[in-house]
Amino acid sequence: MTNLNQVLEVGRTLVGAAGNSKKKSLEFISEQLQAADPALSADQVFTSLNERERLGSTGFGNGVAIPHCRMPDCTRPMGLLVRLAEPVDFDAMDQKKVDILFALVVPQEANNDHLQLLSQIAERFSDDHRLSNMRAADTSEALYNAFINE
């Protein structure tokens, strides 16, 4: 089973990113993932994340979203954790704007890993103490540690 600290690293954890809208946030995520793995196309990541959003919002609730997709060009599960400078409307079920996003991209055939990782991410975001520590983090490293270690 893949563990979250194998999927996320400090270099893919960002504090204070500009989102402005759901679309802009997904574009930003796609560009960051391509920068981390040049085998990925930002356009394809964006299209895949957008297609997943059309099935139903990945707005988890409590100001959190977990945009995710499976991609044929992805060779290993990869995560990106972002705290936005300003919350954006993500069509979450609880109607709250989103300020924390965990984007997950996994290889096309990685069904079990995909579901297990989503479960681990959702479990971490269900912890109010962890969420408040993430919102208080003022550096990428502090945000990463609040997510991974609490």
Q: Which of 68, 70, 83, 124 is catalytic?
A: 68
Position 109 scores a pLDDT of 86
- Compute the distance between CA of residue 107 and CA of residue 87 in angstroms, rounded to an integer: 29
3-state helix, strand, coil in the chain (%, to 5): 45, 25, 30
CATH of 4-149, one of 1.10.3720.10, 3.30.70.20, 3.40.930.10, 3.40.190.10: 3.40.930.10
Q: What percent of the chain has pLDDT over 90?
A: 74
pLDDT digits (tens, 9 = 90+) for 5-22: 889 999 999 999 888 899
Position 43 scores a pLDDT of 95
In three-state secondary structure terms, 48 is helix
**DSSP state, residue 94:** T
Global pTM reads 0.94
**DSSP state, residue 89:** -
Position 138 scores a pLDDT of 93
pLDDT digits (tens, 9 = 90+) for 95-118: 999 999 999 999 988 878 888 999
Name beta bridge partners: 82: 14, 101
Check if 68 is active-site. yes
Q: What percent of the chain has pLDDT over 70?
A: 98
pLDDT digits (tens, 9 = 90+) for 127-139: 999 999 999 999 9
Residue spans per domain, the chain: 4-149
Position 115 scores a pLDDT of 87
Task: Report phi then psi at 100, rounded to 5.
Answer: -125, 125
CB 26 within 8 A of CB 53: yes
